[in-house]
Structure 1
Amino acid sequence: MKNLKTIILSTVFTLSATAAFAEPYRIGVLTDMSGMNFDLAGQGSVVAAQMAVEDFGGKLLGETVEVIVGDHQNKPDVGSTLARTWIDSQNVVAVVDVPTSSVAMAVQEITRQTDTAFLISTAGSSALTGEACSPSTAQWTWDTFAMANGTGRAMTLEGAKKWYFITVDYTFGHALEADTTQAVLAAGGEVVGSVRHPRETTDFSSYILQAQASGADVIALANSSGDTMTALKQMQEYGITEAGQKIAGMLLFLTDVQGVGLDIARGLTLTTAFYWDMDDQTREWSARYSERMDGKKPTMVHAGVYSAVTNYLKAAEKAGEARSGSKVMETMRGMDINDFFNRNAYLREDGRVIHDMFLVRVKAPEDSGAAGDLYEVLATIPGKEAFASVENSACPLVKK
């Protein structure tokens, strides 16, 4: 009897100690904290994830939830190593954000192998929910097809038929050019040429001269962030628009427009998943975000991170399961996804979150009333029109 009492007391002590020192669930924001994507993602994505956890109450299935951050330096090997370490040893149950499609592709393999939720807000290659799709992934904010289909189709239908691409030479750029080409051809346009450049290029002069000589109606920048801003500034020096050619920034963030200024960006048409000044809901959340970010306005990436983390937490709570990303995603597919970011949204079997997108035009300086007042919303693009149809998906998870 004495031995039995000792065993019982020992068991009670062990359970109590385990409860007292239970490791919290962790959300890992894997982002670019020091490179070309810092402003559009970076610290803003960390703050957005923290806001989502706090607004949810800071607990999931009775356990504390923490947000941790890692800088992948835009290198696939660094990103995948960080993700593996987090999942194996730091109880990370969801990886969030991940700028740079090549990094996201590498990280997706780790989250697929470990059945960990992968909530993509910044990487945009449509292949992430195409041939490379994963049952534990949700591509939340945008993809190359949606940006191409919005801007490419709209400008071609307006009469800009001949297109020339200046494309960044890696996974994302290739996907954006391919998807835009498809949209342009479908709208009755043609592609007259293209040229590729390394990431973080400082001199676009040779590429601009080739595009200028092509006779294209539109010079399309199939790149992003720092590359896009550098190209736009140098294109102004060459007088591209004054000579009659149009410029299409196929992926422009609010921070990019702010970076080059309205004098350079004025009149550009672009597609976005979110604009802070659309309505009372977007303004209310954005005001709370700005309080933590020294007055900075959120990009669509930041809003997407908040929405993705919030809906992950809701789905995990409902599923009674945090560690199996595929089970959480299966539960999410049966949920109503509707918040200040998502309009008419749902999670598809290929991992693509379908929601409305918006066609906007950059304001002229004289039409901007205050800091951050940058866009005029031209049209809402319903989600089913914005994103590639599931019938044409290359994702092996989709039932044909």
Structure 2
Amino acid sequence: MKLSRRSLMGAGTAALALPAAGAARAAPRPKIKIGVLVDMSGPYRDDTGPTSVVCTKQAAQDFGASHVGFDIEVIAGDHQNKPDVGAAIARQWYDREGVDCIVDVPNSAVGLAVSTVTREKNKVFLDSGSGVSLLFGKDCSPNTVDWTYDTWMLAHSTGGQMVKQGGDSWYFITADYVFGHILESDTTALIKAAGGKVLGSVRYPFPETTDFSSFLLQAASSGAKVLGFANAGGDTQNCIKQAHEFGLGKKMRIAALLIESNDIRAIGLETAQGIYYTESYYWDANPSTRAWNARVSKTTPDHAYPNQGQAGDYGATLHYLKAVAALGAKAAQADGRGVVARMKAMPTDDPCFGKGSIRLDGRALHPVYLLQAKTPQESKSSWDVARIAHITPADQAWRPMNEGDCPLVKS
């Protein structure tokens, strides 16, 4: 396998070293190094990218302002949506650059690859972007925490809402990668359990597809009541825009199974209004999220409001650093499994997700918001894109642990 110099050397282009408060200058201290591995140049750049790095750095700054004992450094890399590139960067970071923890990792195939490398190296992977339920199912790892969202949660929240509204026949347009396949599968299981049916589906090549017209016309002729998009990022934006151009919203309901508030804003409320979607964090959910967003968005590119994955980078990193402090930095660097075990033993608590916990299978538990995109008339500002239609409590929002086939869970 041959990798470009850009693939590997670009990994360390964004870095921030943070000495914890009260540091003694006389002796060198341990340094915890965190790598934010995201899409900096492709279809998930706006959903992750530079804002994910800002949110991770903010967690390091917030933690470092009140704790002593070790320094914190944050670096960033671009996996280019290629599993081999992502795995190679992870290995370089762990083997040569002293990285202790990798954060985010959009793209399910890259996330699975990074989880495997992390387990081999006994480091820590905080998944806030992969979103694939395998990471706390049959491919769960004692070194991985799945923080923000997953295919089962999305299927049962957004898909469940469509079924409740009478959407008992579906057609899927699905990205041809692991996340798309599993999102379609999890939603299909929900539909069939409710007595519905899937009338058809089509899978398209990623990332080279930008024209979805032929797929949309197939969906329109299927007779399905619901058109489900099992994709993400720029692909979902393009699907919704092109479906609107064809007038499909007048013939069938649109279910964007993974879309985030920044995507809704990019599409525009004139086109996106009425769409139901799911996030485990929304900036306007409560006073705590509003205060955190107001603080962090001052330093994000173009003052963008973080979405659920980017807020997840903050929450997961903050909890990780608490576990490191509890163990001691040197012990934490020597044993990533031990850090994750301590993270599971400690209750979670941060301004984005509130109080919660992490299960034995690595699934972080917190409430989930079913959102509905507002009309242009309802919106009071450019980021005021949705209303909360329903809140699913943490104990109901996620797949039951005994249904995931995670080897870490003893029967």
Deviation of 1:153 after TM superposition, in Å, equals 1.1
Aligned residue for 1:241, secondary structure, equals helix
Distance (whole Å) between structure 2 residues aligned to residue 60 and residue 106 of structure 1: 33
Residue 218 of structure 1 pairs with residue 226 of structure 2: yes
Query: Which residue of structure 2 lines up, in the alignment, with residue 205 of structure 1?
Result: 213
Match of 2:314 among 306, 316, 322: 306
Kindly provide the amino acid, as one letter, of the partner of residue 119 in structure 2. R
Larger radius of gyration: 1
Moved over 3 A (4+): 18-23, 58-61
Bigger CA drift: 318-327 or 42-51?
Answer: 318-327
Query: Which residue of structure 1 lines up, in the alignment, with residue 57 of structure 2?
Result: 50
Aligned residue for 1:315, secondary structure, equals helix
Distance (whole Å) between structure 1 residues aligned to residue 47 and residue 231 of structure 2: 14
Distance (whole Å) between structure 2 residues aligned to residue 396 and residue 268 of structure 1: 37
Query: Which residue of structure 2 lines up, in the alignment, with residue 362 of structure 1?
Result: 373
Residue 322 of structure 1 pairs with residue 320 of structure 2: no
Deviation of 1:22 after TM superposition, in Å, equals 5.4
Kindly provide the amino acid, as one letter, of the partner of residue 255 in structure 2. A
Residue 41 of structure 1 pairs with residue 51 of structure 2: no
Root mean square deviation of aligned Cα: 1.5
Query: Which residue of structure 1 lines up, in the alignment, with residue 70 of structure 2?
Result: 63
The unaligned stretches of length 5 or more in structure 2 are 1-24
* Mapping 1:1-400, distance limit 5 Å: 20=27, 24-57=31-64, 62-200=69-207, 201-242=209-250, 244-293=251-300, 294-320=302-328, 321-323=331-333, 324-400=335-411
Aligned residue for 1:338, secondary structure, equals strand
Distance (whole Å) between structure 1 residues aligned to residue 137 and residue 339 of structure 2: 20
2:154–2:278 CA contact under 8 A, matched in 1: yes
Query: Which residue of structure 2 lines up, in the alignment, with residue 13 of structure 1?
Result: none
The unaligned stretches of length 5 or more in structure 1 are 1-17
1:56–1:313 CA contact under 8 A, matched in 2: yes
Kindly provide the amino acid, as one letter, of the partner of residue 363 in structure 2. R
2:323–2:339 CA contact under 8 A, matched in 1: yes
Distance (whole Å) between structure 1 residues aligned to residue 68 and residue 379 of structure 2: 46
Distance (whole Å) between structure 1 residues aligned to residue 372 and residue 409 of structure 2: 35
Deviation of 1:273 after TM superposition, in Å, equals 0.6
Change (3 A) 1:75 1:61: farther
Aligned residue for 2:248, secondary structure, equals coil
Deviation of 1:274 after TM superposition, in Å, equals 0.7
Change (3 A) 1:35 1:368: same
Deviations 1:199-249 (A, max 9, x none): 13111111101111110000000001111111111111111012x211100
Aligned residue for 2:44, secondary structure, equals coil
1:59–1:65 CA contact under 8 A, matched in 2: no
1:58–1:65 CA contact under 8 A, matched in 2: no
Change (3 A) 1:326 1:19: farther
Distance (whole Å) between structure 2 residues aligned to residue 171 and residue 49 of structure 1: 26
TM-score of the superposed pair, with normalisation by structure 1:
0.93
Deviation of 1:19 after TM superposition, in Å, equals 7.5
2:229–2:255 CA contact under 8 A, matched in 1: yes
Aligned residue for 2:153, secondary structure, equals helix
Deviation of 1:352 after TM superposition, in Å, equals 0.8
Deviation of 1:284 after TM superposition, in Å, equals 0.8
1:60–1:313 CA contact under 8 A, matched in 2: no
Distance (whole Å) between structure 2 residues aligned to residue 99 and residue 163 of structure 1: 27
Deviation of 1:187 after TM superposition, in Å, equals 2.5
Deviations 1:288-320 (A, max 9, x none): 111002321111111100000000000111122
Deviations 1:244-275 (A, max 9, x none): 21110000011211111111110001111111
Deviations 1:126-165 (A, max 9, x none): 1111111100110000001000010111110111110110
Distance (whole Å) between structure 1 residues aligned to residue 222 and residue 255 of structure 2: 15
Aligned residue for 2:145, secondary structure, equals strand
1:165–1:193 CA contact under 8 A, matched in 2: yes
Aligned residue for 2:282, secondary structure, equals coil
TM-score of the superposed pair, with normalisation by structure 2:
0.90
Distance (whole Å) between structure 1 residues aligned to residue 396 and residue 172 of structure 2: 24
Aligned residue for 1:292, secondary structure, equals coil
Distance (whole Å) between structure 2 residues aligned to residue 78 and residue 41 of structure 1: 17
